[in-house]
Structures are given as C-alpha cells and as structure tokens.
Chains A and B, each alone.
Chain A
C-alpha cells in the first residue's frame, strides 16, 4: 500500500544521510594529522628568489660570519650607527686629554647589564687596548658589526635561536635574501632589558 511505503522513506533517507555524514567525519578525522605531516614531508628547498616583487633591504648590511640552517645570511651593520665610531679617533696610545671628556663623550653610560651590584663592567665587552673592537672572554677581537659573536658567548641559547629564527626578526621581508636585525638593534648593550612603557593602544569594550 502507498501508506506503507511512505513509512519507510524517512528512515531510509535518514540512514543514508547518517552513512554519508559518518563517512565524511571519518575522512575528516583521518586527515587530522596531515597538516604537520604534510609540512614536514616537504623537504625540497624553497627558492626565496621566486617571489619576484620582493624589494631588497636598503639598510647597510654585512655578511654574517656564521651560517643558519638555510646557508649564509646577512646582518644589519652597526658601526655606521655608532655616533663616535671610530673610537680610535680619541683613544690613541696616550691617555685622552679632552676637557670634560668623560661627560662629553660617553660618560653618561650607566651599565645595567646583569644582576644589580654584580653586573658587567666596561672591559667585560670592550677590548681594553683596541677600542675599535670588542673582546670576548677568549681574548679574540670582535667587530662591532658582528657583536653577536660576543653576546652569544653568554647568551648562547638566544644566539642559537637567533641564528635559527626563533629570536630576533627579519628586516622587512620574509622572502628574498635573509637579512636579520643584530643584537644591538633591539637591545641597548649597556641596558639590554626592554623598558616598561605604556601600550601603544588599548581595546575598547564593545558595549
């Protein structure tokens, strides 16, 4: 009878629908882990030059003396930003004889690097004999442009991360040649901690 058939249509349709839904759900679940697997499965190097419109960094850079996982990279130069470089223009073999020299040049530097009272002193980083360079604890001369070699002696974890990309930042571009900020771009070496400040803005409540 017609009525009897109608009684079966709804259950039949719902069963079909449920099968479709369950199948879809099962497929979706099977794909759950695929994002990270898909990413890790890609091992061919990416040609970052393939992004045609990338504009090269205009600031002065130097080739880093170490390599990261993708090969060589560049670091923002530092020397040209130091107002009184070259230090040897004042610091010769003889003692510096400028009237009120300490206040006029860099006597206002307060070192806030390390624990209070037990922090660093000037010659912990600066080469005592050749003021144009820094000196690491092994006694080697370190160029100001490559200060990461010095900072990394103590802050080796941050340096390892900085080489890899988890610390610091790229300059302007994610593609193209890798240019990253050097340590002193963000951290004042004499007072490296970020200062407390007011946020740049706030979130407005919606009502």
Chain B
C-alpha cells in the first residue's frame, strides 16, 4: 500500500480487470482455452497412436457405437468379429481369428480342483497367461496358487507369492480363479449389464460395453476379476491367434477381464488351458449336465467343498481331497 510501485501495479491490474474490452477478451480467451482443453482431453482419450488410415478410423467409429454383445443378432456378431480382426491387422499387424461360437446346448461347465494332487508347479498359470494373451508388463494372472499350511482351508492363511522348489513337505497347494458362480454377485453389481452368465454357465464380460467402474471387482468375494489399468502388452510371437469375442481377444484399456473357462477352447470341445497344462492331473473339467462326466463322478464320490460357501454365490468350482 505504501510503495508507489505497488500502487501502480494495483491500478494497472484494476484497469485490466475492469475495462469492458478486457472482460470480453477474457471470456473469449477462457472459452477458447476450455474448448482447446476439452478437445485435447477427448483426443488423448480417443487414440493412443496416430490412426493409420481412414479405414481404421471408420472401423473404430463403428466399434464405438455398437450394441451390447448379448443384444446383437448373429450377423452383427460376425460383423464385429470381422471388424476386430481387421483392426488387429491395422494396429498390431497380426492375423487373428475372432470367433463367435455360441454356447453348446445342454452344457453347464463345472470344474474341480484336487488339493491332494496339486504340487504347486504353476504350469496352469503360465498356460493361462499364454492362452489368454494376458498382459506381460503387469504379470496379470487369472489363476493364483497358494502354498497352504495344513489346518486351514482359507487362502488368506497361505502364501500366494512363493517361489522355491515345490512341493514343500507338509504343505499343500490350492488354486483360485474366477469360479463362475451361478448366483454371481459381479453380474448383479454391473450397472450396464456388461458382464453376465452365459447359458452354458460361463460368466463373461463384453469388453467394449464395460465402462470400467470396477464395481464388479469390489463385489467379487474370490478375487476373480482383473482390470486393465493400462494397455496390455503381449510379445507378438506369443499371441494366441485363435480368439473369441468374449474370451482372449485383445482387451481395450480400462476394461474388466477374467477367466472365461477358455471359452475359445471349451466351446469347441477342448479342455481349458489350465486343465491341459496341469502335470499332475489335479484339475477336472466337464459338463455338469452329463451324468457320465468326470466332474459328476467327482461330485458324487469325493468329499467336495467350495470356497466361502456361506456367501451363497453357488460357484461352479469345487475343491476335493483324494
């Protein structure tokens, strides 16, 4: 207040702020800045890389406005699969086949895990990572194996991050993944119906429909769901090219994903990658509606239990002891 310099500065600022022309200028400037800011935001969201061609842009435009997969007609499903194949060629220069196999009639998939036979080799984990094109950068794993101390069957008492020679004497091993609950809390929680239970029992996610709110991840009691926090990276030579729309195709950033019982394999009659990879045969998979299946034999003759049974989620994944 005392120095003339301060006074001069103050008057200048007041002049600048109170002159009518500067108000208009300010509004102009502010609106231009706001428009530029929102355009920058939108642009950074729409593309990570520069689009190569008008063709690719058109494919992405169509992909953006498509329906929820469940509501699509078979033709629309084929169209979107084709678009995804062409986008994969444009963006990553790989040839993939995105399938749309519908569920097999009269099939309800069930899974059993033999905790006597599991030796903690984690071959299932590597097979799953490879088969489902999981992000290598963040070491995303659908399957977790826990080294357990006998006495409790709760994975929270076990060690999920062991790395030593297995099996350790007097310890047993237990694996978890999405259990494909019949009464899935994640399906109930999703605000846009982006995740649902297919007629053959597999709980799937439509990656393009998901808005990334992660409410389903909060609702899952089994740590079954994974989120694409960044864009997934898979080395080109390791990509599994036989894909399914609801399965192991390249997931967009900011979407939820999970074990799909290898939907790209099981709907063609093959075993999931984890079952096929297990060296000790600790994993059993089959059709619960087939009274002669192996899974029905296990349920009938073995002492089976499910995790967190008291929550009433009705998982289709049973543990048993030999």
Residues of A at the B interface (CB closer than 8 Å) are 28-29, 31-32, 35-36, 39, 42-46, 48, 50-51, 53-55, 68-71, 157, 161, 164-170, 172-176, 181, 186, 194, 196-205
Q: Which residues of B contact A32 (CB under 8 A)?
A: 312, 314
Q: Which residues of A contact B281 (CB under 8 A)?
A: 167-169, 181, 186
Whether the Cβ atoms of A165 and B298 lie closer than 8 Å is yes
Starting from the known contacts A46-B289, A194-B119, 5 additional A-B residue pairs (CB-CB under 8 Å) come to A29-B312, A39-B296, A174-B286, A186-B280, A200-B122
**Top 7 A-B residue pairs of the complex, sorted by shortest distance between their CB atoms:** A165-B294, A54-B269, A70-B292, A46-B290, A175-B269, A164-B297, A51-B269
Q: With A69-B297, A174-B285 in contact, do A28 and B291 touch (Cβ < 8 Å)?
A: no
Assembled-state Cα–Cα distance A21/B237 (Å): 52
B144, B167, B297: which has the most chain A beta carbons within 10 Å? B297
Residues of B at the A interface (CB closer than 8 Å) are 101, 104-108, 110, 112, 114, 117, 119-123, 125-126, 129, 138-139, 141, 144-145, 160-167, 182-183, 266-271, 275-276, 278-281, 283-299, 301-302, 312, 314, 316, 320, 322
Q: Which residues of A contact B298 (CB under 8 A)?
A: 164-166
Whether the Cβ atoms of A53 and B287 lie closer than 8 Å is no
> Could you list 12 A-B pairs, sorted by A, with CB under 8 Å?
A28-B183, A45-B292, A53-B267, A70-B290, A164-B294, A164-B301, A165-B284, A194-B119, A199-B162, A200-B121, A201-B141, A205-B161
How many A-B pairs with Cβ below 8 Å? Answer: 165
Q: Which residues of A contact B268 (CB under 8 A)?
A: 51, 53-55
Whether the Cβ atoms of A48 and B279 lie closer than 8 Å is no
Q: Which residues of B contact A54 (CB under 8 A)?
A: 268-270
Q: Which residue of A lies closest to B318 (CB)?
A: A36
Q: Which residues of A contact B293 (CB under 8 A)?
A: 46, 70, 165, 174
Assembled-state Cα–Cα distance A24/B121 (Å): 44
A44, A172, A203: which has the most chain B beta carbons within 10 Å? A203
Whether the Cβ atoms of A165 and B270 lie closer than 8 Å is no
Whether the Cβ atoms of A165 and B122 lie closer than 8 Å is no
A55, A161, A164, A166: which has the most chain B beta carbons within 10 Å? A166
Q: Which residues of B contact A169 (CB under 8 A)?
A: 275-276, 278, 281, 283-284
Q: Which residue of B lies closest to A205 (CB)?
A: B161
Assembled-state Cα–Cα distance A28/B181 (Å): 14
Whether the Cβ atoms of B269 and A55 lie closer than 8 Å is yes
A173 touches which one: B107, B271, B288 (CB < 8 A)? B271
A28, A50, A157: which has the most chain B beta carbons within 10 Å? A50
Whether the Cβ atoms of B312 and A28 lie closer than 8 Å is yes
Q: With A71-B292, A166-B301 in contact, do A202 and B163 touch (Cβ < 8 Å)?
A: yes
Q: Which residue of A lies closest to B182 (CB)?
A: A35
Assembled-state Cα–Cα distance A111/B182 (Å): 48
Q: Which residues of A contact B267 (CB under 8 A)?
A: 51, 53
Q: Which residues of B contact A39 (CB under 8 A)?
A: 108, 110, 288-289, 296, 299
Q: With A54-B268, A198-B166, A203-B160 in contact, do A165 and B291 touch (Cβ < 8 Å)?
A: no
Whether the Cβ atoms of A201 and B294 lie closer than 8 Å is no
Main secondary structure of the interface of B (DSSP, over half): loop
Q: With A164-B297, A169-B281 in contact, do A196 and B167 touch (Cβ < 8 Å)?
A: yes
Whether the Cβ atoms of B106 and A166 lie closer than 8 Å is no
Whether the Cβ atoms of A197 and B161 lie closer than 8 Å is no
Assembled-state Cα–Cα distance A181/B303 (Å): 24
Whether the Cβ atoms of B266 and A50 lie closer than 8 Å is no
Assembled-state Cα–Cα distance A157/B117 (Å): 14
Q: Which residues of A contact B296 (CB under 8 A)?
A: 39
Whether the Cβ atoms of A69 and B292 lie closer than 8 Å is yes
Q: Which residue of B lies closest to A161 (CB)?
A: B322
Assembled-state Cα–Cα distance A21/B279 (Å): 48
Whether the Cβ atoms of B279 and A186 lie closer than 8 Å is yes
Q: Which residues of B contact A173 (CB under 8 A)?
A: 269-271
Assembled-state Cα–Cα distance A194/B166 (Å): 10
Q: With A55-B269, A164-B294 in contact, do A203 and B161 touch (Cβ < 8 Å)?
A: yes
Whether the Cβ atoms of A170 and B271 lie closer than 8 Å is yes
Whether the Cβ atoms of B280 and A194 lie closer than 8 Å is yes
Assembled-state Cα–Cα distance A172/B106 (Å): 21
Whether the Cβ atoms of B104 and A50 lie closer than 8 Å is yes
Nearest Cβ on chain B to A188's Cβ, whole angstroms: 12
Whether the Cβ atoms of B292 and A46 lie closer than 8 Å is yes
Assembled-state Cα–Cα distance A48/B280 (Å): 25
Q: Which residues of A contact B101 (CB under 8 A)?
A: 53
Q: Which residue of B lies closest to A29 (CB)?
A: B312
Assembled-state Cα–Cα distance A50/B122 (Å): 33
Q: Which residue of A lies closest to B269 (CB)?
A: A54
Q: Which residue of A lies closest to B109 (CB)?
A: A174
